[in-house]
Chains A and B, each alone.
Chain A
Amino acid sequence: DAGVIQSPRHEVTEMGQEVTLRCKPISGHNSLFWYRQTMMRGLELLIYFNNNVPIDDSGMPEDRFSAKMPNASFSTLKIQPSEPRDSAVYFCASSWSGPNYGYTFGSGTRLTVV
């Protein structure tokens, strides 16, 4: 199993540009989570999906952020337009909806908006 796969690993973009982060969860996991890591707030949950359906998006900072999960094997997080304060490491994680937490994180995407 290749684990949770995120792309790109690094992204540098100019303010105002659209940024799309991608995630492939572990096959068979039915929950997917997008987290953002910053020094001030640690790991904060942006949005999560169960069975491809968004369950809680209360952590999405503002309308500039959107996430989709068109099928069980792919999710995107889009920022449009991007701003310098969006610079952070974005993690995707997937898990089972079962009695044991199988939260597996990807390696993250380091986003820098200049």
Chain B
Amino acid sequence: DQQVKQNSPSLRVQEGRISILNCDYTNSMFDYFLWYKKYPAEGPTFLISISSIKDKNEDGRFTVFLNKSAKHLSLHIVPSQPGDSAVYFCAASGLTGGGNKLTFGTGTQLKVEL
């Protein structure tokens, strides 16, 4: 049972345009959400997070939006750059704070083209 779903396995975007990666979750107890980026042959690295008390969090070119009623979050990258090409994982947790397990989605492969 996949509690965190990323329904788009891949996404192609032109350099300079907006990339929108989507994530849905089913567990209403999740209250903290994160995005990780993964390059080939490397481990995932933390990108940005959002608590359920917020609906938006921004960090430079990256913005995460949370719609709790729809159990949906999205990651916007503006403007997209070739170096953003990677696999992006959405993750969720039932408790704020570190040390608790994260449930990950299946990932979306983003390719930013010149």
Contact = CB atoms under 8 A, between A and B. Distances in A.
Interface stretch (A12-20, A39-47, A63-71): A39-47
A31 B99 contact: yes
A96 B100 CA distance: 9
B99 A41 contact: no
Contact of A107 (B34, B43, B98, B103): B43
Interface residues of A, number: 32
Interface string B38-77: 0001111110010000000000000000000000000000
Interface string B16-53: 00000000000000001010100001111110010000
A101 B101 contact: no
Interface string B93-105: 1001111111111
A41 B89 contact: no
B43 A95 contact: no
B2 interface: yes
A74 interface: no
